[in-house]
Structure 1
Amino acid sequence: MCMQQKIEAALAELTPNFLVIDDESYMHSIGENSHFKLVIVSDQFVGQRKVQRHQRVYALLGEIMQQIHGLALHAYTQEEWDAVIAAPESPECQGGGLLDL
């Protein structure tokens, strides 16, 4: 099972209306399957602040987070998603490559 499939399976409990898991490792020098952009839209986020949504996602990902160097997380309610229709672009890598270890 690839990393995207693992992430998707872990987040199934949120019954997402929309879910995109982009491997953005190519933008970084750490290696394959190291950086991901996650856009998730779920009715379960209604009434939750951004930090609560992120905590829920991190809790569901559990040990998977040990295998990820970077996660750009964008969690929306359906109403919020309908208003923005796109998550922000991820920034360019600021360093932290294999040579820095």
Structure 2
Amino acid sequence: MLSQQIIQDKLSQAISDIKNVIITDTSNGCGQSFDVIVVSDTFQGKNKLQRCRLVNNALKEEVAQIHAFGCKCFTLEEWSKLVV
């Protein structure tokens, strides 16, 4: 079963300069559906599709095992404006 820690570890290995990761198991704990928010300045200058592709490529094997996966990607500046 896929866990939040596995997702966190894979993202940390694949995407440099991660400032924050929020992982939500939306399948009530059965590990079949996740929403992920990734905050990294690696996303600077990239559009939404390019950002999500970075995350999806990092989690290619894991995403293939689950039912649903959603991600949102922000730079630190974008994220700080959202959480004010």
TM tier, shorter chain?
Answer: 0.7 to 0.9
1:2 positional shift: 5.2
So what's the TM-score if we normalise by structure 2?
0.87
Unaligned runs of 5+ in 1: 87-101
Q: Percent identity?
A: 34
Q: State TM-score, norm by structure 1.
A: 0.73
5+ residue gaps, structure 2: none
Of structures 1 and 2, the larger Rg is shown by 1
2:69 aligned with 1:71: yes
Residue in 2 aligned with 1:44? 42
- Structure 1 segments, 4+ long, off by >3 Å, are none
Secondary structure of 1:17 counterpart: strand
What secondary structure sits across from 2:22 in the alignment?
Answer: strand
Cα RMSD over matched residues?
1.9
Q: Which residue of 1 aligns with 2:83?
A: 85
- Show the counterpart of 2:9: 9
